């Protein structure tokens, strides 16, 4: 399992190509040759870039869902809508498919934000807006998500 670290600002060109910053590209080195999957986020107006190994683990979990339950089928359809395999080219660029650029509202300024084992790809203005919106309640959220008694952080 890979864990990415950092938030990086970069630019998208008119074709939707984003130069991956060297620090992030170095972190991607162990998985870069296996490719990636890019998709829309479930909860936010951004994209998610999965290393292929992480994507395959997620697909194994999804494949265990009973497809004779309508809600499972509906979820799988929506979750996988617009999913595309992508690669980082030899010069370190990621080509974001045009339909996904539109979905995420990406213009020129882009933020690549680590989210443990994936990278979120944001339009810079949208990213800053979401950070501002969640800042006020972050302490409460942190306590709720991470503050359960008996959970040991090692």
pLDDT tens digit string along 136-153?
788 888 888 888 766 555
Number of folded domains that form the chain: 1
76: Cβ–Cβ under 8 A, 6 or more apart, which residues? 62, 65, 67
**Residue ranges making up the domain that contains 59:** 7-146
For the whole model, what pTM was predicted? Answer: 0.89
Q: Is 154 contained in some domain?
A: no
pLDDT tens-digit map of 8-65: 999 999 999 999 999 999 999 999 999 999 999 999 999 999 999 999 999 999 999 9
Q: Is 1 contained in some domain?
A: no
Q: Is 114 contained in some domain?
A: yes
Residues 74-92, mean pLDDT to the nearest whole number: 93
Q: Is 152 contained in some domain?
A: no
- CATH code where residue 133 lies: 3.40.1550.20
């Amino acid at each position: 399992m890979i864990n990415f670290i950092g938030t990086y600002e970069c630019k998208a060109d008119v074709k939707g190509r984003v130069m991956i910053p060297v620090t992030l590209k170095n972190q991607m080195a162990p998985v870069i040759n296996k490719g990636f999957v890019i998709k829309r986020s479930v909860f936010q107006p951004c994209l998610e870039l999965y290393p292929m190994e992480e994507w395959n683990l997620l697909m194994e979990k999804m494949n265990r869902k009973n497809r004779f339950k309508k809600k499972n089928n509906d979820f799988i359809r929506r979750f996988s809508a617009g999913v595309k395999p992508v690669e980082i080219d030899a010069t370190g660029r990621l080509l974001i498919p045009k339909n996904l650029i539109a979905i995420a509202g990406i213009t020129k300024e882009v933020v690549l934000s680590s989210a443990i084992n994936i990278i979120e790809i944001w339009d810079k203005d949208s990213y800053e807006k979401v950070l501002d919106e969640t800042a006020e309640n972050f302490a409460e959220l942190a306590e709720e998500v991470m503050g359960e008694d008996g959970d040991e952080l090692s």
